[in-house]
Structure 1
């Protein structure tokens, strides 16, 4: 029973006891306790008074244990939210240490602080029961797996991901595959990207750009990519090849 309903019911019961007693005995009564003379009050009040005291103490008892249960449940809800956070961080390959209120949960959930979660293929039926936060991050992971590029800033968790995060690397590779011109930005800010992304950017540069654009990165592309560039010339592509351009590139390499 809710405490508010219990209080109202108790008050009504006390009134009913007092009224019933008054109808039976409308008189008054007084007595002494430890030489203290108590005032003369209706018998109905004397009868209702113990009932009222019992109701008051029972309300205090209910309030105490109700508060105890409330705070216990609050800790469980907090741990449930923390567990969701732990799963979230492990899904995005950035496991972090989280402290739980209950040792029973921490004994198992602490594994997430140094582990990552690799979800299987998309399971719409099972994932429908997840929280919206976990569903959102799973949708991003599945899109990237399929080769799509996802704007992680719009998804509001890009700031949580380090440059060497596997999700970030795979997403950058997807972007390069969809937009080879993105390679120029990567090569201009190499310190922001993983080595695998930089190497793919150099490959895309050699596959899609002309000599004039590539010349800026001539030393970085290396001899093997330079030979691939020459293969494009052999195939008849007009990419600005000339003897002077060839000499400028050869200065970068020891053949």
Structure 2
């Protein structure tokens, strides 16, 4: 539209200049320039020729700049699309992002977004962009544990929202623990650990030990509680338990919790022998051994061990021993919990 106006104005100017020149001098003239002969034409025509040349040159000038401007707009448009994708990925928790921007206007903000995680307020429902609005809706649905079609977003398996969605699916029973644990690379450690928590409550010993790297303290306690249990019980030798415990990073209080969990169903003789074996090569396990002996009223055996330790070792157990000698009888579990608290 602007080009039409410019052309119309240019033609009007040419006509006015030609008319003015013709009114002043209506003669014709011919001449030679740079070895070229120009025919005999009215002077008014030759006056208008420079205007025609300038008009054509201005059109070429505007065309070049329009083409350059179009390239810039296309580059900005592509960068805008990349920015939208980066914002969506940042909302959905995609880990590695490295969008390359051509325009300076987007480079700074793009680098910042590529290295950020956006957590919008829950009140933000939409912003008018389809991709962003879909991401916001997905975030809400996953948080509310709704069933969603997440595959269309092509997110990596380790994206936080994918992990949460898989946890939701596991909770709803859409995927079972066996399927998750058999494909750890697809589901990741977080989902596998959650699946393992329920798996140890029902699976056989051999099946559980295949996935022992997913043991947490909570799942380990559930596991040992099943030893010799009347319902849904399992059997496992002390040698296997020692091997298992040696692969886990257990600390002082962990041994007490293990012994307390084993007390529910494990045969006392096996429990005593287990902690005796553990304490032979692990000083931290000695606390679990002492707890086991006192819990099973093996006071003399526990006292004998304490008598052969240095003065500053196992102070809590020595305090418990002294209380029993003074006929002050407390449950060992309650005594230790209160002392540690």
Alignment match of 1:133 (pick from 131, 134, 158): 131
Which one has more relative contact order, counting CA pairs under 8 Å at least 6 apart? 1
Match of 2:198, SS state, is helix
| Superposition pairs of residues 1-255 of structure 1, within 5 angstroms | 2-7=2-7, 9=8, 12-13=11-12, 16-17=15-16, 20=19, 29-33=28-32, 37-93=37-93, 94-124=95-125, 127-129=126-128, 131-153=129-151, 155-158=152-155, 161=156, 163-179=157-173, 182-205=176-199, 214=204, 217-219=207-209, 220=212, 223-226=220-223, 241=232, 246-247=234-235, 253=241
Aligned length: 234
Match of 1:196, SS state, is helix
In 2, Cα distance between equivalents of 1:66 and 1:181: 57
How many angstroms does 1:37 deviate by? 4.8
Which ranges in structure 1 are unaligned for 5 or more consecutive residues? 235-240
Judge conservation of contact 2:205–2:235 (CA < 8 Å) in 1: no
Which shifted more, 192-201 or 33-42?
A: 33-42
Larger-Rg structure: 2
Give the 3 Å change call, closer, same or farther, for CA 224–249 of structure 1 in structure 2: farther
TM-score of the aligned structures, taking structure 1 as reference length: 0.71
Give the 3 Å change call, closer, same or farther, for CA 216–12 of structure 1 in structure 2: farther
Give the 3 Å change call, closer, same or farther, for CA 110–60 of structure 1 in structure 2: same
How many angstroms does 1:227 deviate by? 5.5
Which ranges in structure 2 are unaligned for 5 or more consecutive residues? 243-270, 272-341
In 2, Cα distance between equivalents of 1:3 and 1:15: 16
Give the 3 Å change call, closer, same or farther, for CA 248–228 of structure 1 in structure 2: closer
TM-score of the aligned structures, taking structure 2 as reference length: 0.56
Which shifted more, 181-190 or 30-39?
A: 30-39
